């Protein structure tokens, strides 16, 4: 059983503007994550422990920022069971498809238990992923979680 990792301290979070909740309704959540998680190709040669530490840090940071936004804005997020996940990844270079999916994995893992019940295929189905080019330093991920009824 995986130990619960404590949420990172504020000094371990890059900056508070990393996560911006754009719109929220009981059926749909859209937000922007500034910056970029490491791609699968960047993590390939690393030891498994370093890869896990990188994923855990990003996942815990997302969880921390969502909880922080809920407290500051009084937006109460509920867990959605059946969801459709749509993402647009803005990067300076295009990635192959499996690299794009692996980049989103720590983000979606951070949403488990807070926004989505689980990320299993039965509950999410196929993820819709698009990529767009942008300038270096302006990388971001736009993620939309929509309830499927």
Model pTM?
Answer: 0.74
- How many angstroms separate the CA atoms of 100 and 16, rounded? 24
Residue 8 has pLDDT above 60, yes or no: no
- How many angstroms separate the CA atoms of 84 and 64, rounded? 23
Q: What is the pLDDT of residues 64-108, one digit of tens each?
A: 877 777 666 666 677 788 899 999 999 898 988 888 888 888 888
């Amino acid at each position: 059983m995986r130990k619960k990792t404590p949420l990172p301290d504020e000094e371990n979070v890059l900056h508070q503007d990393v996560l911006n909740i754009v719109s929220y309704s009981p059926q749909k959540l859209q937000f922007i994550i500034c910056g970029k998680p490491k791609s699968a190709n960047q993590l390939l040669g690393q030891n498994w422990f370093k890869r896990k530490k990188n994923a855990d840090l990003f996942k815990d940071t997302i969880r921390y920022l969502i909880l922080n936004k809920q407290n500051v804005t009084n937006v109460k997020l509920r867990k959605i069971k059946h969801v459709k996940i749509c993402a647009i990844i803005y990067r300076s270079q295009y990635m192959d498809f499996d690299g794009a999916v692996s980049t989103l994995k720590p983000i979606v893992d951070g949403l488990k238990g807070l926004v989505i019940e689980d990320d299993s295929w039965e509950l999410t189905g196929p993820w819709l992923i698009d990529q767009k080019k942008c300038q270096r330093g302006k990388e971001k991920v736009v993620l939309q979680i929509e309830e499927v009824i």
